[in-house]
């Protein structure tokens, strides 16, 4: 019984406003610990230059995303910056059962949904060193001006969720 409990996997949920450097932190963690499993989300957003289907996201059309959401394929899903994102339930359940630590890069709504449904996971909020740094990082990515504006205005709301996380990390 104790051994079974010890072997049970758990999630490390990382959230941050866009541009805080969450993807780089996740990449560094995965490079340091090869036993970590990364949850590749489904998204209706268009791929950015260099992004690969099945690696960065499973890129789906809105109809297919809706079908999967209705079928209960997602552990959680949310609309973020005008697009839909969802965490594939099957992958999480299989990896947790196998005793793996699973890394999730999801937004504050998704983190809250999962916290309501599961116990024993770890949540981490990544903060940018300053507002100016956040804006600069967003401009360095090849997002559209509209997307940058939406992401900056959403960042204010996202930062309000930070106190509910287990750990805070300033990514400077």
Other CB atoms within 10 A of residue 166 CB: 12
Q: Give the interface segment with ligand 5GP, choosing from 25-33, 61-69, 81-89, 126-134 (CB under 6 A).
A: 81-89
Q: Which is nearer to ligand 5GP, 7 or 90 (CB)?
A: 90
Residues paired with 79 in a beta bridge = 84
Identify residues 102-121 at the interface with ligand 5GP (CB under 6 A).
105-107, 109-110
Query: Does residue 13 belong to the site contacting ligand 5GP (CB under 6 A)?
Result: no
Residues paired with 124 in a beta bridge = 14, 167
Q: Which is nearer to ligand 5GP, 101 or 161 (CB)?
A: 161
Q: Give the interface segment with ligand 5GP, choosing from 26-34, 64-72, 83-91, 92-100 (CB under 6 A).
A: 83-91
Query: Does residue 78 belong to the site contacting ligand 5GP (CB under 6 A)?
Result: yes
Number of residues that bind ligand 5GP (CB under 6 A): 15
Joined together, the tokens standing for residue 99 give: 């005793």
CB of 57 to ligand 5GP, least distance (A): 7
* Cα–Cα distance for residue pair 161/123, rounded to 1 Å: 11
Is-contact 9 102, C-beta < 8 A? Answer: yes
Query: Residues 143-162 vs ligand 5GP: string with x where CB under 6 A?
Result: --------------------
Closest C-alpha to 106, from 132, 131, 126: 126
Question: Is residue 79 helix, strand or coil?
Answer: strand
Identify residues 43-62 at the interface with ligand 5GP (CB under 6 A).
45
Three-state DSSP string of 98-132? CCCEEEEECCHHHHHHHHHHCCCCEEEEEECCCHH
Q: Which residues of the shown chain bind ligand 5GP in the complex (CB under 6 A)?
A: 18, 41, 45, 76, 78, 80-81, 85-87, 105-107, 109-110
């Amino acid at each position: 019984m104790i051994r079974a409990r010890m072997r049970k996997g758990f999630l490390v949920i990382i959230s941050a406003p866009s541009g805080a450097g969450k993807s780089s932190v996740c990449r560094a963690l995965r490079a340091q610990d090869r036993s970590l499993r990364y949850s590749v989300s489904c998204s209706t957003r268009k791929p950015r230059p260099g992004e690969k289907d099945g690696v960065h996201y499973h890129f789906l059309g809105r109809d297919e995303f809706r079908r999967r959401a209705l079928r209960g394929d997602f552990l959680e899903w949310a609309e973020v910056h005008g697009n839909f994102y969802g965490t594939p339930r099957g992958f999480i359940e299989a990896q947790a059962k196998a005793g793996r630590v699973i890394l999730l890069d999801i937004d504050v709504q998704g983190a809250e949904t999962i916290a309501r449904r599961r116990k024993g996971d770890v949540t981490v909020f990544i903060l940018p060193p300053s507002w100016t740094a956040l804006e600069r990082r967003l401009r360095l990515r090849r997002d559209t001006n509209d997307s940058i504006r939406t992401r900056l205005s959403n960042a204010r709301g996202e930062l309000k969720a930070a106190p509910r996380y287990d750990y805070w990390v300033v990514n400077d």
